[in-house]
Amino acid sequence: MKSVTIQPHQPGPGTDTPVLAVQELGKSYPSRKGDVLAVRSIDFAVHAGQFVSVVGPSGCGKTTLMMCIAGLLPITTGSVMFRGDRMSGPRDGVAVVFQDYSRSLFPWLTVEKNVALPLRDRGLPRTEIRDRVRESLEMVGLAHAAALHPWQLSGGMQQRVAIARGLAVRPEMLIMDEPFASVDAQTRASLEDLLLKVWAETGTTVLFVTHDIDEAVYLSDRVVVLSQGPSVVVEDLPVELERPRDQIATKQTALFGELRENVYSLVMASQRRTSLSGDLH
């Protein structure tokens, strides 16, 4: 696997106003037995140009958290601030790429029409839509597939279409919810490096949810570790691995191994504490 040779966009200076600020965010769902707390109290911030991953035990509420941050679910307590303004729903400047590419693309539309869809909703001129679609497809290496339909593409290519659609709106922040979970290991590695290349070229701030600890460490500037649900932030770890990253060389470094072990230990410790608490009750 070749390394990503483009130097990434460097995180912006530590300003008082981050791109994203999650403040004491809590989310509960109603049930017959009363409210069920999914996310207890989440606090973290992401500055311009950073690549931040969120990991945690299975069922800890990672997807719920991302849906709240994206404005797709109402929050119960706390707040989500985007550029200092409180978010109360989806907004321009934020794009989301979901895990299940097969359900996020419209099979009756061509690749270029799938990518153009959010641009048409914004009422942009046809020439600008055409230029943005072409630019986004070129960025993910799919310019040749513009006239094809999603069902004619492999899973990895379909997810690249979903990424291109997110990039076409030229977001300031890209939220990705386990986007590579449904592809094989080789395709996953290729998509990881493609994402780093796109991030380097655009400078887009990325918030990336994954259950894969190696993936989180490999991609990120920081890894936010969540506890077992109802989740809180256990640790916010800086990842000081040199860039550009390489699928083989980076993962063979002692620092990568230390970071991976640290994150894994935090996740497992959270699971053990929850299990012991349940046994005591």
Task: Report the distance separating Cα 47 and Cα 206, nearest Å.
Answer: 10
pLDDT digits (tens, 9 = 90+) for 60-115: 999 999 999 999 999 999 999 999 999 988 888 999 999 888 788 999 999 999 99
Percent of the chain with pLDDT over 90: 79
Asked if residue 199 has pLDDT above 70, the reply is yes
- Residues facing residue 226 across a β-bridge: 233
pTM for this predicted structure:
0.89
What is the average pLDDT across 38-66? 95
Domains and CATH numbers, the chain: 20-87+207-280 (3.40.50.300)
pLDDT digits (tens, 9 = 90+) for 244-257: 999 999 999 999 99
Task: Report the distance separating Cα 113 and Cα 275, nearest Å.
Answer: 48
For tokens 């931040």, the residue is: 52
- Residues facing residue 22 across a β-bridge: 44, 80
pLDDT digits (tens, 9 = 90+) for 160-193: 999 999 999 999 999 999 999 988 999 999 999 9
Give pLDDT, residue 273.
61
Which among 60, 28, 61, 65 has a CA at the least distance from the CA of 43? 65
Asked if residue 14 has pLDDT above 90, the reply is no
What is the average pLDDT across 140-162? 96
What value does the mean pLDDT of the chain take? 90
Task: Report the distance separating Cα 97 and Cα 226, nearest Å.
Answer: 21
- Under a CB-based contact definition with an 8 Å cutoff, are residues 261 and 14 in contact? no
